[in-house]
Homo-oligomer: A and B are copies of this chain.
Protein backbone atom coordinates (compact mmCIF):
# COMPACT_ATOMS: atom_id res chain seq x y z
CA UNK A 1 0.00 0.00 0.00
CA UNK A 2 2.32 2.64 1.27
CA UNK A 3 4.91 0.65 -0.60
CA UNK A 4 3.36 0.90 -4.00
CA UNK A 5 5.72 2.36 -6.52
CA UNK A 6 8.56 2.94 -4.13
CA UNK A 7 11.87 2.82 -5.91
CA UNK A 8 13.73 -0.34 -5.08
CA UNK A 9 17.34 -1.26 -5.12
CA UNK A 10 16.74 -2.79 -8.51
CA UNK A 11 15.62 0.51 -9.95
CA UNK A 12 18.76 2.17 -8.75
CA UNK A 13 20.86 -0.65 -10.11
CA UNK A 14 19.25 -0.37 -13.52
CA UNK A 15 19.63 3.40 -13.60
CA UNK A 16 23.26 3.25 -12.60
CA UNK A 17 23.99 0.34 -14.88
CA UNK A 18 25.20 -1.99 -12.16
CA UNK A 19 23.84 -4.92 -10.19
CA UNK A 20 21.73 -4.70 -7.04
CA UNK A 21 24.61 -6.22 -5.14
CA UNK A 22 26.84 -3.37 -6.07
CA UNK A 23 24.24 -0.83 -5.11
CA UNK A 24 23.85 -2.40 -1.70
CA UNK A 25 27.58 -2.45 -1.17
CA UNK A 26 28.01 1.06 -2.40
CA UNK A 27 25.37 2.52 -0.13
CA UNK A 28 26.35 0.54 2.93
CA UNK A 29 30.09 0.80 2.52
CA UNK A 30 30.45 -2.93 2.56
CA UNK A 31 32.30 -4.55 -0.31
CA UNK A 32 35.23 -3.48 -2.46
CA UNK A 33 34.06 -0.92 -4.92
CA UNK A 34 35.70 1.61 -7.16
CA UNK A 35 35.28 4.99 -5.50
CA UNK A 36 34.00 6.46 -8.74
CA UNK A 37 31.40 3.75 -9.09
CA UNK A 38 30.36 4.28 -5.51
CA UNK A 39 29.94 7.98 -6.03
CA UNK A 40 27.96 7.46 -9.17
CA UNK A 41 25.63 5.02 -7.44
CA UNK A 42 25.15 7.37 -4.53
CA UNK A 43 24.23 10.18 -6.87
CA UNK A 44 21.80 7.96 -8.70
CA UNK A 45 20.18 6.79 -5.47
CA UNK A 46 19.88 10.36 -4.34
CA UNK A 47 18.33 11.43 -7.60
CA UNK A 48 15.77 8.65 -7.49
CA UNK A 49 14.98 9.32 -3.86
CA UNK A 50 15.84 5.78 -3.00
CA UNK A 51 15.32 4.67 0.60
CA UNK A 52 15.99 1.10 1.57
CA UNK A 53 12.85 -0.72 2.57
CA UNK A 54 13.25 -1.28 6.27
CA UNK A 55 11.28 -4.47 6.26
CA UNK A 56 13.32 -6.17 3.63
CA UNK A 57 16.48 -5.04 5.31
CA UNK A 58 15.20 -6.24 8.65
CA UNK A 59 14.35 -9.62 7.29
CA UNK A 60 17.88 -10.27 6.18
CA UNK A 61 19.76 -8.53 8.95
CA UNK A 62 17.50 -9.62 11.77
CA UNK A 63 17.14 -6.04 12.99
CA UNK A 64 13.82 -4.30 13.01
CA UNK A 65 14.86 -0.75 13.71
CA UNK A 66 12.14 -0.68 16.33
CA UNK A 67 12.59 -0.35 20.07
CA UNK A 68 9.88 -0.92 22.61
CA UNK A 69 9.12 1.47 25.42
CA UNK A 70 7.27 -0.08 28.30
CA UNK A 71 5.92 2.31 30.87
CA UNK A 72 4.73 1.02 34.25
CA UNK A 73 1.47 -0.83 34.22
CA UNK A 74 -1.28 -0.34 36.68
CA UNK A 75 -2.32 -3.88 37.30
CA UNK A 76 -5.57 -2.95 38.88
CA UNK A 77 -6.41 0.69 38.35
CA UNK A 78 -7.68 2.25 35.18
CA UNK A 79 -4.70 1.52 33.08
CA UNK A 80 -4.47 4.76 31.23
CA UNK A 81 -3.76 6.32 34.55
CA UNK A 82 -0.05 5.72 34.69
CA UNK A 83 0.46 7.41 31.39
CA UNK A 84 -1.03 10.63 32.52
CA UNK A 85 1.92 11.40 34.70
CA UNK A 86 3.84 13.92 32.85
CA UNK A 87 7.23 12.62 33.80
CA UNK A 88 6.40 9.59 31.69
CA UNK A 89 5.27 11.75 28.84
CA UNK A 90 8.48 13.69 28.80
CA UNK A 91 10.35 10.43 28.96
CA UNK A 92 8.41 8.94 26.07
CA UNK A 93 8.91 12.01 23.98
CA UNK A 94 12.60 12.21 24.72
CA UNK A 95 12.98 8.53 24.04
CA UNK A 96 11.51 8.77 20.56
CA UNK A 97 13.86 11.60 19.83
CA UNK A 98 16.92 9.85 21.22
CA UNK A 99 16.34 6.69 19.24
CA UNK A 100 15.49 8.57 16.13
CA UNK A 101 18.94 10.06 15.93
CA UNK A 102 20.13 6.71 14.70
CA UNK A 103 17.07 5.86 12.71
CA UNK A 104 15.30 3.70 15.25
CA UNK A 105 11.66 4.21 16.00
CA UNK A 106 9.97 3.73 19.33
CA UNK A 107 6.90 1.72 19.85
CA UNK A 108 4.71 1.98 22.92
CA UNK A 109 3.68 -1.21 24.59
CA UNK A 110 0.09 -1.11 25.69
CA UNK A 111 -0.70 -2.10 29.23
CA UNK A 112 -1.74 -5.69 28.64
CA UNK A 113 -2.89 -7.79 31.52
CA UNK A 114 -1.86 -11.20 30.32
CA UNK A 115 1.65 -10.95 29.03
CA UNK A 116 0.92 -13.88 26.77
CA UNK A 117 -0.77 -11.92 24.07
CA UNK A 118 2.14 -9.72 23.19
CA UNK A 119 4.44 -12.47 22.14
CA UNK A 120 5.19 -11.43 18.58
CA UNK A 121 6.88 -8.20 19.47
CA UNK A 122 8.51 -6.82 16.34
CA UNK A 123 11.24 -5.17 18.27
CA UNK A 124 14.99 -5.32 18.67
CA UNK A 125 15.17 -4.21 22.25
CA UNK A 126 13.13 -2.73 25.02
CA UNK A 127 13.24 -0.06 27.69
CA UNK A 128 11.38 -0.86 30.88
CA UNK A 129 10.62 2.10 33.09
CA UNK A 130 10.48 1.81 36.88
CA UNK A 131 10.57 -1.97 37.21
CA UNK A 132 9.04 -3.37 40.35
CA UNK A 133 9.31 -6.63 42.23
CA UNK A 134 8.57 -9.62 40.02
CA UNK A 135 7.75 -7.30 37.21
CA UNK A 136 5.82 -9.21 34.54
CA UNK A 137 7.27 -6.93 31.90
CA UNK A 138 10.80 -8.11 32.60
CA UNK A 139 9.64 -11.70 32.73
CA UNK A 140 7.92 -11.41 29.37
CA UNK A 141 10.90 -9.79 27.73
CA UNK A 142 13.29 -12.35 29.11
CA UNK A 143 11.08 -15.11 27.84
CA UNK A 144 11.09 -13.51 24.40
CA UNK A 145 14.81 -13.08 24.58
CA UNK A 146 14.57 -9.37 23.91
CA UNK A 147 17.55 -7.35 25.15
CA UNK A 148 16.38 -4.89 27.73
CA UNK A 149 17.56 -1.81 29.57
CA UNK A 150 15.73 -0.53 32.62
CA UNK A 151 15.23 3.01 33.81
CA UNK A 152 15.65 2.90 37.55
CA UNK A 153 17.03 -0.22 39.15
CA UNK A 154 15.40 -3.62 39.08
CA UNK A 155 14.65 -4.42 42.72
CA UNK A 156 15.25 -8.09 42.05
CA UNK A 157 18.68 -7.43 40.64
CA UNK A 158 19.85 -3.99 41.73
CA UNK A 159 23.31 -4.45 40.26
CA UNK A 160 22.20 -5.21 36.74
CA UNK A 161 24.57 -3.10 34.66
CA UNK A 162 22.02 -2.53 31.90
CA UNK A 163 20.31 0.18 33.86
CA UNK A 164 19.94 3.93 33.93
CA UNK A 165 19.31 5.13 37.45
CA UNK A 166 18.67 8.55 38.79
CA UNK A 167 20.73 9.56 41.74
CA UNK A 168 18.02 8.98 44.31
CA UNK A 169 20.29 9.31 47.28
CA UNK A 170 21.43 12.66 46.06
CA UNK A 171 17.88 13.63 45.21
CA UNK A 172 16.52 13.10 48.70
CA UNK A 173 19.58 14.59 50.26
CA UNK A 174 19.30 17.68 48.09
CA UNK A 175 15.69 18.11 49.03
CA UNK A 176 16.35 17.64 52.72
CA UNK A 177 19.33 19.97 52.73
CA UNK A 178 17.30 22.59 50.97
CA UNK A 179 14.40 22.35 53.40
CA UNK A 180 16.86 22.32 56.25
CA UNK A 181 18.50 25.48 54.99
CA UNK A 182 15.08 27.08 54.83
CA UNK A 183 14.71 26.38 58.50
CA UNK A 184 12.73 23.15 58.56
CA UNK A 185 13.34 21.01 61.61
CA UNK A 186 10.81 18.21 61.39
CA UNK A 187 10.61 16.95 57.83
CA UNK A 188 8.15 14.20 56.97
CA UNK A 189 8.37 11.91 53.96
CA UNK A 190 5.54 10.37 51.95
CA UNK A 191 6.54 7.43 49.76
CA UNK A 192 4.71 4.80 47.74
CA UNK A 193 4.62 1.56 49.67
CA UNK A 194 6.90 -1.23 48.49
CA UNK A 195 7.18 -1.71 44.72
CA UNK A 196 10.16 -0.51 42.83
CA UNK A 197 13.71 0.13 43.85
CA UNK A 198 13.10 3.82 43.64
CA UNK A 199 10.90 4.25 46.68
CA UNK A 200 13.07 1.89 48.68
CA UNK A 201 16.05 4.07 47.92
CA UNK A 202 14.11 7.16 48.86
CA UNK A 203 13.25 5.70 52.22
CA UNK A 204 16.79 4.57 52.75
CA UNK A 205 18.33 7.92 51.88
CA UNK A 206 15.86 9.70 54.10
CA UNK A 207 16.65 7.48 57.07
CA UNK A 208 20.37 7.90 56.60
CA UNK A 209 20.14 11.66 56.41
CA UNK A 210 17.83 11.87 59.41
CA UNK A 211 20.14 9.78 61.55
CA UNK A 212 23.17 11.76 60.55
CA UNK A 213 21.43 14.97 61.50
CA UNK A 214 19.84 13.59 64.62
CA UNK A 215 16.30 14.07 63.34
CA UNK A 216 13.28 11.91 63.85
CA UNK A 217 12.22 9.70 60.98
CA UNK A 218 8.71 10.56 59.89
CA UNK A 219 7.99 8.24 57.01
CA UNK A 220 4.55 7.34 55.75
CA UNK A 221 4.21 4.60 53.16
CA UNK A 222 1.11 5.14 51.08
CA UNK A 223 -0.86 3.23 48.52
CA UNK A 224 -0.60 4.55 45.00
CA UNK A 225 -3.95 3.09 44.25
CA UNK A 226 -6.17 5.30 46.30
CA UNK A 227 -3.57 8.01 46.24
CA UNK A 228 -5.78 10.91 47.14
CA UNK A 229 -7.40 9.35 50.15
CA UNK A 230 -4.28 7.77 51.56
CA UNK A 231 -2.24 10.95 51.23
CA UNK A 232 -5.05 12.99 52.69
CA UNK A 233 -5.37 10.69 55.68
CA UNK A 234 -1.65 10.40 56.27
CA UNK A 235 -1.02 14.11 56.12
CA UNK A 236 -4.00 14.81 58.32
CA UNK A 237 -2.58 12.56 61.00
CA UNK A 238 0.90 13.96 60.55
CA UNK A 239 -0.38 17.46 61.09
CA UNK A 240 -2.17 16.56 64.27
CA UNK A 241 1.00 15.30 65.90
CA UNK A 242 2.76 17.53 68.39
CA UNK A 243 5.33 18.76 67.67
CA UNK A 244 3.93 19.20 64.21
CA UNK A 245 6.15 18.62 61.14
CA UNK A 246 7.17 21.84 59.46
CA UNK A 247 7.99 20.37 56.08
CA UNK A 248 6.84 17.51 53.87
CA UNK A 249 8.63 15.76 51.08
CA UNK A 250 6.17 14.13 48.69
CA UNK A 251 7.66 11.11 46.98
CA UNK A 252 5.24 10.76 44.09
CA UNK A 253 3.20 13.13 42.01
CA UNK A 254 -0.04 11.38 42.79
CA UNK A 255 0.17 12.19 46.46
CA UNK A 256 0.19 15.91 45.81
CA UNK A 257 -3.54 16.62 45.60
CA UNK A 258 -4.34 14.67 48.76
CA UNK A 259 -1.55 16.35 50.61
CA UNK A 260 -2.53 19.83 49.57
CA UNK A 261 -6.11 19.12 50.45
CA UNK A 262 -5.27 17.95 53.94
CA UNK A 263 -3.01 20.92 54.49
CA UNK A 264 -5.65 23.39 53.38
CA UNK A 265 -8.24 21.64 55.45
CA UNK A 266 -6.06 21.92 58.53
CA UNK A 267 -6.06 25.63 57.97
CA UNK A 268 -2.35 25.74 57.28
CA UNK A 269 -0.71 27.72 54.53
CA UNK A 270 2.15 26.79 52.26
CA UNK A 271 4.89 27.88 52.64
CA UNK A 272 3.89 29.98 55.66
CA UNK A 273 3.15 27.15 58.06
CA UNK A 274 4.56 24.24 56.17
CA UNK A 275 7.20 23.78 53.52
CA UNK A 276 6.40 21.35 50.73
CA UNK A 277 8.58 19.76 48.08
CA UNK A 278 7.96 17.02 45.54
CA UNK A 279 10.32 14.34 44.32
CA UNK A 280 9.23 14.50 40.69
CA UNK A 281 8.93 17.71 38.74
CA UNK A 282 6.37 18.39 36.08
CA UNK A 283 3.54 20.63 34.98
CA UNK A 284 1.63 19.73 38.09
CA UNK A 285 4.35 21.23 40.27
CA UNK A 286 4.83 24.31 38.13
CA UNK A 287 1.17 25.14 37.88
CA UNK A 288 0.15 24.30 41.40
CA UNK A 289 -0.76 27.12 43.74
CA UNK A 290 1.65 27.84 45.14
CA UNK A 291 4.17 26.46 42.66
CA UNK A 292 5.91 23.49 44.24
CA UNK A 293 9.59 22.99 44.74
CA UNK A 294 10.47 19.79 42.94
CA UNK A 295 13.28 17.67 41.65
CA UNK A 296 13.79 17.39 37.94
CA UNK A 297 14.87 13.86 37.12
CA UNK A 298 15.94 14.96 33.66
CA UNK A 299 14.04 12.41 31.63
CA UNK A 300 15.69 13.77 28.50
CA UNK A 301 19.11 12.71 29.76
CA UNK A 302 17.76 9.43 31.01
CA UNK A 303 16.38 8.75 27.56
CA UNK A 304 19.65 9.43 25.79
CA UNK A 305 21.57 7.29 28.25
CA UNK A 306 19.09 4.45 27.95
CA UNK A 307 19.24 4.53 24.17
CA UNK A 308 23.01 4.38 24.20
CA UNK A 309 23.02 1.54 26.65
CA UNK A 310 20.49 -0.42 24.65
CA UNK A 311 22.39 0.05 21.42
CA UNK A 312 25.50 -1.19 23.14
CA UNK A 313 23.69 -4.21 24.43
CA UNK A 314 22.25 -4.93 21.00
CA UNK A 315 25.74 -4.76 19.53
CA UNK A 316 26.77 -7.47 21.92
CA UNK A 317 29.18 -5.25 23.78
CA UNK A 318 30.19 -5.74 27.37
CA UNK A 319 28.30 -3.83 30.04
CA UNK A 320 30.18 -0.95 31.59
CA UNK A 321 28.13 -0.50 34.72
CA UNK A 322 24.99 1.48 35.42
CA UNK A 323 24.55 5.03 34.24
CA UNK A 324 23.60 7.48 36.95
CA UNK A 325 21.76 10.62 35.97
CA UNK A 326 22.08 13.60 38.29
CA UNK A 327 19.00 15.46 39.42
CA UNK A 328 18.26 19.16 39.49
CA UNK A 329 16.49 20.94 42.30
CA UNK A 330 13.90 23.46 41.17
CA UNK A 331 13.18 25.77 44.03
CA UNK A 332 9.75 27.35 43.93
CA UNK A 333 7.48 29.18 46.27
CA UNK A 334 6.28 26.19 48.27
CA UNK A 335 9.56 25.88 50.12
CA UNK A 336 10.69 29.46 50.47
CA UNK A 337 10.50 30.84 53.98
CA UNK A 338 10.03 34.42 52.82
CA UNK A 339 6.39 35.29 53.40
CA UNK A 340 4.24 38.07 52.13
CA UNK A 341 3.45 39.30 48.67
CA UNK A 342 5.96 36.94 47.19
CA UNK A 343 3.45 35.02 45.19
CA UNK A 344 3.58 37.02 42.04
CA UNK A 345 7.32 37.32 42.31
CA UNK A 346 7.67 33.64 42.82
CA UNK A 347 5.71 32.98 39.70
CA UNK A 348 7.74 35.35 37.66
CA UNK A 349 11.08 33.97 38.74
CA UNK A 350 9.81 30.53 38.15
CA UNK A 351 8.56 31.13 34.67
CA UNK A 352 11.55 33.19 33.72
CA UNK A 353 14.60 31.40 34.88
CA UNK A 354 14.19 28.14 36.69
CA UNK A 355 12.01 26.33 34.23
CA UNK A 356 13.10 24.45 31.21
A residues touching B (Cβ–Cβ < 8 Å)?
A: 1-5, 49, 51-56, 58-59, 62-66, 78-80, 83-86, 88-90, 92-94, 96-97, 100, 103, 105-112, 118-125, 144-147, 228-229, 256-257, 260-261, 264-265, 282-284, 286-287, 289, 300, 314, 316, 343-344, 347, 351, 356
A52 and B120 alpha carbons, distance in the complex (Å): 7
Most B CB atoms within 10 A — which of A2, A85, A344? A2
Chain B residues near A59: list those with CB within 8 A. Answer: 53, 55-56, 59
Inter-chain contact A111/B97, CB cutoff 8 Å: yes
Q: How many Å from the CB of A296 to the closest CB on chain B? A: 12
Q: How many Å from the CB of A273 to the closest CB on chain B? A: 16
Q: A4-B145, A83-B89, A146-B2 are in contact. Are A96 and B122 (CB under 8 A)?
A: no
Inter-chain contact A119/B80, CB cutoff 8 Å: no
A84 and B282 alpha carbons, distance in the complex (Å): 8
Inter-chain contact A109/B96, CB cutoff 8 Å: yes
A78 and B299 alpha carbons, distance in the complex (Å): 14
A111 and B106 alpha carbons, distance in the complex (Å): 13
- Closest B residue to A126 by beta carbon equals B2
User: What are 8 inter-chain pairs, A to B, with CB distance below 8 A?
Assistant: A1-B62, A1-B316, A65-B122, A84-B90, A84-B282, A93-B110, A93-B111, A105-B109
A198 and B77 alpha carbons, distance in the complex (Å): 31
Inter-chain contact A84/B283, CB cutoff 8 Å: yes
Chain B residues near A229: list those with CB within 8 A. Answer: 351
A56 and B74 alpha carbons, distance in the complex (Å): 33
Q: A94-B80, A120-B54 are in contact. Are A2 and B89 (CB under 8 A)?
A: no
- Closest B residue to A86 by beta carbon equals B84
Chain B residues near A287: list those with CB within 8 A. Answer: 256-257, 284
Q: A1-B62, A144-B2 are in contact. Are A78 and B314 (CB under 8 A)?
A: no
Chain B residues near A125: list those with CB within 8 A. Answer: 2
